[in-house]
Amino acid sequence: MRLGLILLLLALALPAVLLAAPGERDPAAPAPPQPLPPVATSPPLPLPPVATATATATPTVTPEPPRSRAAGRPWRGRLVHGRQLPLSGDGYVTWDPIFKRAGNRPWRRWGTDRLVATLERVLGAYAARHPDAQPVLVGDLSRPRGRDFGPQFGGIGHASHQNGLDADVYYPRLDHRLRAPRRPSQVDRAAAQELVSAFVAEGAVYVFTGPSLGLRGPAGVVQELVNHDDHLHVRLRARG
């Protein structure tokens, strides 16, 4: 037992002896442990710049869509970066004048930002004044990039509606049905006059109305025009 203990102690001491005197070690002995790789002593990598306080303090900003622009004239023009009037909104539902049904097709309801905002503001205010009224029907605006909106797109077509500044708005009906009026006798003229006056107050350059309805407004702005006994046509200025 004592010899075994001595041998064990020698075996435990042998590596320490070899380390202490590497030049004298037995060539058959295992190599001494290698030094740790330098990466363990390297300084920590710098944090990426995004983690700095300045960067995290900056809020994420969604880029605004480009502003719309009415190019050319309403009867010979185009619409740049137009905005689509939703299918329906506060106080209005769009109306397809060709299929004669609520919900106009998506490509027939594009305008400038200001035209869409004006329709939403006027018709939302009308609904607030008349909470029991049916939504007002909004017909065609312009095509997505404007340009010709003639009879090849259905019905008698539009001579204007080419640069996102024109919109058709159907007069409310006396019977409150959610359809475009077919005859002047079906038109709620008081409601129609209120809508005409509201668009004038918004700075419309023209509001065309039907010759059978006797609607009033500033001379030169509110004008009677054939084929407008079921709807008014509002045109905004190109600017301002």
In the complex, which residues of this chain contact Zn ion (CB under 5 A)? 168, 233
Report the nearest approach of Zn ion to the CB of residue 78 (Å): 17
| Closer to Zn ion by Cβ: residue 114 or 233 | 233
**b/e map 169-205, b = 16+ CB within 10 Å:** bbbbbeeeeebbbeebebbbeebbbebbbbbbebebe
| Closer to Zn ion by Cβ: residue 168 or 229 | 168
Report the nearest approach of Zn ion to the CB of residue 230 (Å): 11
Q: Which residue is nearest to Zn ion (CB)?
A: 233
| Closer to Zn ion by Cβ: residue 173 or 233 | 233
Distance CA(132)–CA(186), nearest Å, equals: 18
Distance CA(94)–CA(231), nearest Å, equals: 13
Q: What is the 3-state secondary structure (H, E, C) of 142-190?
A: ECCCECCECHHHCCCCECCCCCCCEEEEECCECCCCCCCCCCHHHECHH
| Closer to Zn ion by Cβ: residue 25 or 147 | 147
Backbone angles phi, psi at 95, to 5 degrees: -135, 130
| Closer to Zn ion by Cβ: residue 52 or 227 | 227
What are the beta bridge partners of residue 149?
158
Report the nearest approach of Zn ion to the CB of residue 233 (Å): 4
| Closer to Zn ion by Cβ: residue 168 or 230 | 168
Report the nearest approach of Zn ion to the CB of residue 227 (Å): 9
Nearest alpha carbon to residue 68 among 106, 104, 110, 109 = 110
| Closer to Zn ion by Cβ: residue 18 or 205 | 205
Q: Which two tokens stand for residue 1?
A: 């037992």
Report the nearest approach of Zn ion to the CB of residue 93 (Å): 18
Q: Which two tokens stand for residue 218?
A: 């500033």
Report the nearest approach of Zn ion to the CB of residue 174 (Å): 23
Task: Give the pairing type, strands 206-209 and 231-235.
Answer: antiparallel
Report the nearest approach of Zn ion to the CB of residue 67 (Å): 24
Distance CA(240)–CA(230), nearest Å, equals: 29
Radius of gyration (Cα) for the chain, nearest Å?
40
